[in-house]
Chains A and B, each alone.
Chain A
Amino acid sequence: MNKIRLLSRLQDFFNADDKEKKKKAKDIADVIEKLQAKERKINQMLDDCKDEEMKKALQLEANIISAQIEKGLSVLESL
């Protein structure tokens, strides 16, 4: 094994924690992105909805998703 490869392997080894953090942050960001898309879709449905009962249910769903997004963003910040 040449020196450069050996050094890069050592670097990988010592940066394993950092790498893991980055991976976790990326995964959470992906989830937030999916949630935001879902939120947009529900808001659109809310705008089009005429039935009050249905509107209430959709609003609750939108609120939960927005709380999940908020929680995700604070987790991202702490990383």
Chain B
Amino acid sequence: MHNLIKNSFFVLFLCLLLLGFWLSSDFKTISAGIAIFLFGMLSLQKGFRFFAGGMLEGILRSATNNLFKRLMFGIVTTTVMQSSSLLSILVISFISAGLLDLAAGMGVIYGANLGTTTGAWLVAGFGLKVNIAGYAMPLLVLGVLLQLLKQKSLQGTGHILLGLGFLFLGIQYMKDGFDAFKDNIDLSQYAMTGMRGLLTYVLVGIAVTVIIQASGATMVLIIAALASHQISYENALALAIGSNIGTTVTAVLGALSADIRGKRLAGAHVLFNVFTGVLAIVFLQQFVWAVDHLCLYAGIANDDYTLKLAMFHSVFNLVGIIIMMPVSEPMARFLEKVMQEKRATVEMPRFLNASALQFPDTAVESVLQETRHLYENATHIILRAIGLHRRDVYSEQDLNEIVNKYKIIKEYDIDEAYERNVKGLYSAIIEFISRARFTWEMRQSGRLHWLREANLKLVEAVKGVKHLQKNLLKYNRSYNQYLTREYHRIRYQVAMVIRELENIKSIEVVNELPLLSLDTLKGKVREQRQSANEIIENLIREHKISPEAGTSLLNDNAYVYDIQTNLLRMAETVFINYAVDSVKAEKELALTDHELLEVIKPSPVVEHEQN
């Protein structure tokens, strides 16, 4: 149904367009201008994508702690790129990866809103006053030439030059179209005054922007129409307000496929633009007065309406920022409250967002955070399967006491828990990594390879506990005290590793030898396995347990060792930050497997070697 309506609108729009082409050749020129301008915007965006990944990401990473920096980042980036869509994607990916909170992301988007108004300044101040098509030609030629080269940076520059060329050409076409249009049809006869005119033209501005899907292009269209006196200054102001509101439709459409964070950011964008739009409608007279005065100070002639329109566009967005900035925090809280994540029966990824795929470091950070998320779920399942709870294991209480406290292990459906809390996340992580590695062959690809391995180890640890569970349930209630004691030890050993890893996870933050602590833990695990095997063999030899129960115990000890080593290997990748200098130094001191074995079981002194 939804598609049918959409398709019908598209066909209707197409018919109207064709009718327009048939009725007026000037309409054809204006439409071609819009199309060329939009193509230029796309080409410009494509060009920036060649550089934007790492560069923009790096800048935003260093700008996340400061409100002013975030605002400036939004303004400058959008001014340079003349589009806020790439920036919105970057901000959504940062929010999803937990590098930026919603309020901070809103700061960048506010800045971007102000940044888009610079386009109007450029067109009004430069585009209409010179023969802009003259500049377009060399840009187009150079752009095509550079695009043909192999080097990525030159190709990107080619796309940017081509984009600028098409933007200039589009502006010229729109200008020429309106100039010729006025000889045949005088649109100014439809000018409307008063509140009725204001609201009508605001609606027209919204509609045009929704159709074109780019407020920048709408503004150029308005400026070109204003310059050729096809619309009045008063109506042009209303159209600019409408275009500012209409642009949120693009954000909303873009957010439909995004996760809840993207939707909240789009919500903030809508609130901001609608608020500034309403503000401009209500206080239009005051804004016009302020613009007149500001233009007087800036040396802009009183009858230079195109520049005055650009000033109006910037001023009402700036006022919006000044008013909205202090209420960003409560607004973010409101949006988080109103737009809540649907609780899925199957756990969904919290940090993975397709938009992060374009930004290598953010993509790696997203996978790292998601792996930690998976670790939390996996350890929950492992502990539940051995009849324990995370809150007890992570407490200060003696671990033996905790294991004794929960003597009876309740049945726990690991398969169901795996399907619900692990499988979906694991699949999403693997899919994300595959897509990311497909996209770029960089340093980050190596890091992603290790993260994929870490995830695999986590899943193997959960599967290991499933094998363990059967005998654990069977022998835990055995009348043979030796057997129950050994299964008690098994539970203790699994819980011990999870507790120690939690400590390592925390000491990683305060830089207290995380890698060497992991080394010590590895030693403990090996020693535990060796002594457990010796104990079991003794129990069989002394007929304290049956050989059948003994072999089950030996197998289960192997499972425990697998669970422990899988968790340790995962921790080496996920909990240790190898970029830190002190960790690099720790690496020099970390013991090899052989050295570790020497410490656990020193090789006996062989006499003939001494001789």
A residues touching B (Cβ–Cβ < 8 Å)? 23-24, 27-28, 30-32, 34-35, 38, 57, 60-61, 63-65, 67-69, 71-72, 75
Contacts and interface: CB of A to CB of B under 8 A. Distances in A.
B582 A68 contact: no
B585 interface: yes
Contact of A35 (B513, B524, B598): B513
B596 A75 contact: no
Contacts of B527: 60
Interface in B484-532: 512-513, 516, 519-520, 523-524, 527
Given A68-B589, A75-B589, A34 B513 contact: yes
B513 A67 contact: no
Given A31-B582, A68-B590, 16 more contacts: A24-B585, A30-B582, A30-B585, A34-B513, A35-B516, A35-B589, A60-B524, A61-B523, A64-B599, A65-B516, A67-B598, A67-B599, A68-B589, A71-B588, A71-B589, A75-B589
Contacts of B595: 67, 71
Contacts of B523: 60-61, 64
Given A38-B513, A67-B591, A71-B591, A61 B585 contact: no
Contacts of B512: 34
B599 A72 contact: no
B303 interface: no
B267 to A, nearest CB: 47
8 contacts: A27-B584, A27-B585, A31-B586, A34-B513, A35-B589, A67-B598, A68-B516, A72-B589
Contact of A28 (B513, B588, B599): B588
Contacts of A69: 589
Query: Which 5 residue pairs of A and B lie closest in terms of their CB atoms, listed nearest first?
Result: A27-B585, A72-B589, A64-B523, A28-B585, A67-B599
**Majority secondary structure, A binding face:** helix
A23, A28, A75 — most chain B CB neighbours (10 Å):
A28
Interface in B562-605: 581-582, 584-586, 588-591, 595-596, 598-600
B135 to A, nearest CB: 40
Nearest to A67: B599
B599 A31 contact: no
A28 B584 CA distance: 9
A27 B520 contact: no
A62 to B, nearest CB: 10
B222 to A, nearest CB: 53
Contacts of B590: 68
A23 B116 CA distance: 48
A37 to B, nearest CB: 10
Contact of B524 (A31, A32, A61): A61
Nearest to A60: B527
Contacts of A61: 520, 523-524
Contact of B520 (A32, A34, A65, A71): A65
Contacts of A31: 513, 516, 582, 585-586, 589
Contacts of A63: 599
